[in-house]
Chain A
Amino acid sequence: MVVGDYLLAGLVAMLTGLDRVALVQIMISRPLVAAPLTGWVLGSPLVGLEVGMLLELLWLGRLPVGAAIPPDDTQVAVGATVMAISVGHMLNLSGMPMVILSVLIAIPLGKFGQVFDRLARHANDRLAVSGQNALLAGDTNGLERYHLFGLVSFALASLATAVVIVLVGSFVLYSVTPLLIGTLREAGLSLQYSLILVGAASLLGTINVNRSLSLFCAAFTGTMLVLWMR
């Protein structure tokens, strides 16, 4: 990967990060979109798709409601994709084990996202005061300026999260891959499926429906039977 690639990935990190709260919210921030997008600008969209599949469901049940800040799954997706591709190039490795390892390392690092997100929102507290003062002075243009300036803090928070995940994550990934890659090849596919199943289970556990259990079991059994009979 060349410097230009990292710059592009940084741009994607900021755009998808802004989509989480501050701007537009058309859900390019979901891992299922953000990761393939990152992969696409780096030339390997399918790696991104695999990352996105592993991450999409894990925090889908965590709603961005009120002041509660959910883990930053967007930057985990972007970061894991960058790591899987760049460290993969360095070690001349590719495929599912690399993807799984990147995702597993990026997930805990996603905690940094909550820290940076909180910082950005506190930075905006000050903007809000300035904006409100401008408004009370009748300066509506000033209000517009301060309001839009908030985008900068959110973009920087997302970029900072992605940078931390990629820097720390790549280092860890580079060190542990030679040790774990053999074991991961063994467990590879079942681990991939299991992680998606974990996501499905956590979404199922947090979904707000009375009949979720019976509906789920019926759908599971029905599908199993259909696939089996075929």
Chain B
Amino acid sequence: MSIVLTRIDSRLVHGQVLEAWVPYVNADCIVVANDEVAGASFQRMVMQAAVPSSIKLIIGTLEETANILSSADLLKKRVLLLFTCSKDALKACELGVSYAKLNLGNMHSSAGKDRYTCTIALDQHDIETLQQIEDQGVTVVSQCVPADWEQSWRKLIRSGGR
């Protein structure tokens, strides 16, 4: 198995992922690692409905997906791995999911978060978490769609939020 893209996207399965990233990285399997979605049957059904039958969709808690990713089930698959937040990405790291690069896609703004790009809003806690992920040897970059420039998150932080 190879993980061809690991991405934080608060919207999980949506157009940018299916229409832009899947063809770009040639993925044939999408893994959604999120504890809440794993338990919401209606939401799982909606997500399944959005994914073409040629692409395998796996939805599970962080632990379940970490197990699946380390098993032989996905041996020949090119996996696109999705988290909703930095916390989950770090936890997956700690559960033994290894990825070389983390793509920051959409991190939706909420109270107390500063906006760094049009699509990325972070608070102090996010920054610390991303720091920890980077300390594990992961390259953290921001790139909304393949047609955008890939940018190191450090540069982003230095340019300041608002």
In whole angstroms, what is the CA distance A68 to B106 when docked? 11
User: CB < 8 Å: which of A65, A118, A207, A209 contacts B15?
Assistant: A65
Q: Contact at A66–B14, with CB atoms within 8 Å?
A: yes
Known contacts A65-B15, A66-B14, A208 near B119 by CB under 8 Å: no
Q: Does A63 contact B (CB under 8 A)?
A: yes
With both beta carbons as reference points, the residue of chain B lying nearest to A64 in the complex is identified as: B15
Q: Contact at A65–B20, with CB atoms within 8 Å?
A: yes
Q: For chain A, residues 166 to 209, give those with C-beta under 8 angstroms from any C-beta of chain B.
A: 206-209
User: CB < 8 Å: which of B15, B118, B148 contacts A63?
Assistant: B15
Q: For chain B, residues 1 to 53, give those with C-beta under 8 angstroms from any C-beta of chain A.
A: 11, 14-16, 18-20, 22-23
Q: For chain A, residues 61 to 77, give those with C-beta under 8 angstroms from any C-beta of chain B.
A: 62-63, 65-68, 70
User: CB < 8 Å: which of A62, A65, A70, A206 contacts B23?
Assistant: A206
With both beta carbons as reference points, the residue of chain A lying nearest to B15 in the complex is identified as: A65
Number of interface residues of A (CB under 8 A): 13
User: CB < 8 Å: which of A68, A207, A209 contacts B145?
Assistant: A68
User: CB < 8 Å: which of A65, A67, A70, A208 contacts B22?
Assistant: A208
Known contacts A66-B119, A67-B118, A208 near B19 by CB under 8 Å: yes
Q: Contact at B15–A208, with CB atoms within 8 Å?
A: no
Q: Does A221 contact B (CB under 8 A)?
A: no
> In the complex, how many residue pairs between chain A and chain B have their CB atoms under 8 Å apart?
36
**Min CB–CB distance A61 → chain B (angstroms):** 9
Q: Does A210 contact B (CB under 8 A)?
A: yes
**Which among A66, A68, A70 has the highest number of chain B CB atoms within 10 Å?**
A66
User: CB < 8 Å: which of B22, B54, B106 contacts A66?
Assistant: B106
**Min CB–CB distance B39 → chain A (angstroms):** 26
**A118 contacts which chain B residues (CB < 8 A)?**
118
With both beta carbons as reference points, the residue of chain B lying nearest to A59 in the complex is identified as: B147
User: CB < 8 Å: which of A66, A208, A209 contacts B16?
Assistant: A66
**A70 contacts which chain B residues (CB < 8 A)?**
147
With both beta carbons as reference points, the residue of chain B lying nearest to A122 in the complex is identified as: B118
Known contacts A207-B23, A208-B22, A208-B23, A65 near B54 by CB under 8 Å: no
Q: Contact at A68–B23, with CB atoms within 8 Å?
A: no
Q: Contact at B20–A63, with CB atoms within 8 Å?
A: yes
Interface string of A127-158 (1 = CB under 8 A from B): 00000000000000000000000000000000
In whole angstroms, what is the CA distance A63 to B16 when docked? 9
In whole angstroms, what is the CA distance A207 to B23 when docked? 8
With both beta carbons as reference points, the residue of chain A lying nearest to B144 in the complex is identified as: A68
In whole angstroms, what is the CA distance A62 to B145 when docked? 10
13 A-B interface contacts by CB (under 8 A):
A62-B147, A65-B15, A65-B16, A65-B20, A66-B15, A66-B16, A66-B119, A66-B144, A67-B106, A118-B118, A206-B23, A208-B18, A210-B54
List the 10 shortest-distance A-B pairs measured between CB atoms, nearest first. Answer: A65-B15, A208-B23, A67-B118, A68-B145, A67-B119, A65-B16, A68-B144, A66-B16, A63-B19, A208-B19
